[in-house]
A and B are shown apart, each in its own frame.
Chain A
């Protein structure tokens, strides 16, 4: 097995006392002060995450837009220069290879930010579907990324960038010259809070990271790890590829059809999705909440209804905000209704839960 890769912030994580774990081939911080503490910090103040492990694939050339529209489910024509869009890369069967954000950062130039675990798979898929007039480049190793998330990220943005730079609007990406450092700044995130993400050449990683922490000190900023990132996204019901999404599940089954434009002409995976829309999906990913305090639900625990097994948990955890178990599970579509009562099997005992609407923590 190859040695785990290190992000350009590895030494900073160790220096700040992070607990490092292997994740998708990378050594990443799972926590600093503690998952629950970091979770509350992001909900109430501001936290910063290293997202340098995420893949960064650049697509450029005169044919880039049409080619991306053939590979991705959302309509790339709807985003102008300086805008971004959440979208899916599907296989021929309509299953999810990856979920990603496409940033239209320059004329005929797009940045695709993809899951760390899928970077190689995505890039090979793209190369296999290569077309004249489209250039592909995997820049994952040479780029760093930070996610600054939480209500106080608004103040931190001004403290960091100064009064002359305005915050990017929702779905906007902007190139800012920050004291000689070229930073791509967007208002995207994976926590449900206000926030911004910064992508930049890896050589500036430690300097930008430390400047964010210094500027944010008066706001109570904390460095955060993957543990809090996971509980924050789960409260929002944002899917995690590999848990909630897979090559055998379509975006329609995952309840994410608003990111699929079935009206646009031929994209890979469209035909099976059209068929699924016509016939109705058999199973749906639903958010649920435990009725009582008890053991947290976890991935792969069985879901029961009226004494019969109806499905399996895709993602589960204790919600630090609610202090109660939450999760998402695939169940037959006829049960995919808000307030539907279900049971979760935990070590042979059944605990009551109910299907809820998104997000789970508000």
Chain B
């Protein structure tokens, strides 16, 4: 499974890419593989304020609907409109075209609950499952 070195990870299989005061959020390669064919993504509204670990999006495969938890609190600035017509981008390019939303992080927001790539690799290797 692809776990890029330049990202941070949540135990619930979301990734986060810091870009100044904004972060981009998506789900990991491991998560998309576990979920299988993604057929619908329900995204938050731009402008919405979210708290850490809040369920902010729903990713639906043929078999099931799964909540996506925000790895961090802040204000949603942008959502990936392309997923409306092409939800499968989450499967084919989870760290690129398949991103979910961008969030502006307030000063002082805690990032320490997030894992580095090595810890996340360890988690998916030992669990052998994913409760996304």
A residues neighboring B (CB under 8 Å) = 19, 30-31, 34-37, 227, 231, 294-296, 298, 317-318, 320, 347
Report yes or no: B36 in contact with A34, Cβ–Cβ below 8 A: yes
Given A36-B37, A295-B42, A296-B39, A30:B63 Cβ within 8 A: yes
Report yes or no: A295 in contact with B36, Cβ–Cβ below 8 A: no
Contacts of A298 in B (CB 8 A): 64-65
Report how far A320 CA is from B62 CA in the complex, Å: 9
Q: Scan residues 50-64 of chain B and give those whose CB is less than 8 A from a CB of chain A.
A: 58, 60-64
Report yes or no: B60 in contact with A34, Cβ–Cβ below 8 A: no
Report how far A318 CA is from B36 CA in the complex, Å: 14
Report yes or no: A231 in contact with B42, Cβ–Cβ below 8 A: no
Q: How far is the CB of B58 from chain A (nearest CB, A)?
A: 7
Report yes or no: B62 in contact with A295, Cβ–Cβ below 8 A: no
Report how far A35 CA is from B38 CA in the complex, Å: 10
Report yes or no: A318 in contact with B62, Cβ–Cβ below 8 A: yes
Closest to A226 in B: B63
Report yes or no: B42 in contact with A35, Cβ–Cβ below 8 A: no
Interface of B is mostly: strand
Residue-wise interface mask of B (41-78) relative to A, using a CB-CB cutoff of 8 A (1 in contact, 0 not): 01000000000000000101111110000000000000
Report yes or no: B40 in contact with A35, Cβ–Cβ below 8 A: no
Contacts of B63 in A (CB 8 A): 30, 35, 227
Closest 5 CB pairs of A and B: A35-B62, A318-B39, A36-B37, A295-B40, A34-B37
Report how far A231 CA is from B62 CA in the complex, Å: 8
Interface of A is mostly: mixed
Contacts of B62 in A (CB 8 A): 35-36, 227, 231, 296, 317-318, 320
Residue-wise interface mask of B (10-40) relative to A, using a CB-CB cutoff of 8 A (1 in contact, 0 not): 0000000000000000000000000011011
Contacts of A35 in B (CB 8 A): 36-37, 61-63
Report how far A295 CA is from B36 CA in the complex, Å: 16
11 contacts across the A-B interface (CB closer than 8 A): A30-B63, A31-B36, A35-B37, A36-B37, A294-B40, A295-B60, A296-B39, A296-B60, A298-B65, A317-B62, A347-B42
Given A30-B63, A35-B63, A318:B40 Cβ within 8 A: yes
B residues neighboring A (CB under 8 Å) = 36-37, 39-40, 42, 58, 60-65
Q: A35-B61, A318-B60 are in contact. List 16 more A-B contacts (CB 8 A).
A: A19-B36, A31-B36, A35-B36, A35-B62, A36-B62, A227-B36, A227-B62, A231-B62, A295-B42, A296-B60, A296-B65, A318-B39, A318-B40, A318-B62, A320-B62, A347-B58
Q: How far is the CB of A137 from chain B (nearest CB, A)?
A: 35
Q: How far is the CB of B24 from chain A (nearest CB, A)?
A: 23
Contacts of A37 in B (CB 8 A): 37
Q: How far is the CB of B29 from chain A (nearest CB, A)?
A: 15
Report how far A131 CA is from B65 CA in the complex, Å: 48
Report yes or no: B40 in contact with A296, Cβ–Cβ below 8 A: yes
Contacts of A320 in B (CB 8 A): 62
Contacts of B37 in A (CB 8 A): 34-37
Contacts of A19 in B (CB 8 A): 36
Report how far A317 CA is from B37 CA in the complex, Å: 13
Report how far A320 CA is from B61 CA in the complex, Å: 11
Q: How far is the CB of B38 from chain A (nearest CB, A)?
A: 10
Report how far A296 CA is from B40 CA in the complex, Å: 7
Closest to B62 in A: A35
Q: How far is the CB of B19 from chain A (nearest CB, A)?
A: 30
Report how far A318 CA is from B40 CA in the complex, Å: 9
Closest to A318 in B: B39
Report how far A36 CA is from B42 CA in the complex, Å: 20
Contacts of B39 in A (CB 8 A): 36, 296, 318
Q: How far is the CB of A263 from chain B (nearest CB, A)?
A: 42
Q: How far is the CB of A343 from chain B (nearest CB, A)?
A: 17
Report how far A11 CA is from B113 CA in the complex, Å: 40
Report how far A317 CA is from B60 CA in the complex, Å: 10
Report how far A91 CA is from B29 CA in the complex, Å: 48
Report how far A320 CA is from B60 CA in the complex, Å: 14
Q: How far is the CB of B35 from chain A (nearest CB, A)?
A: 11
Q: How far is the CB of A231 from chain B (nearest CB, A)?
A: 6
Report how far A36 CA is from B36 CA in the complex, Å: 10
Closest to B64 in A: A298
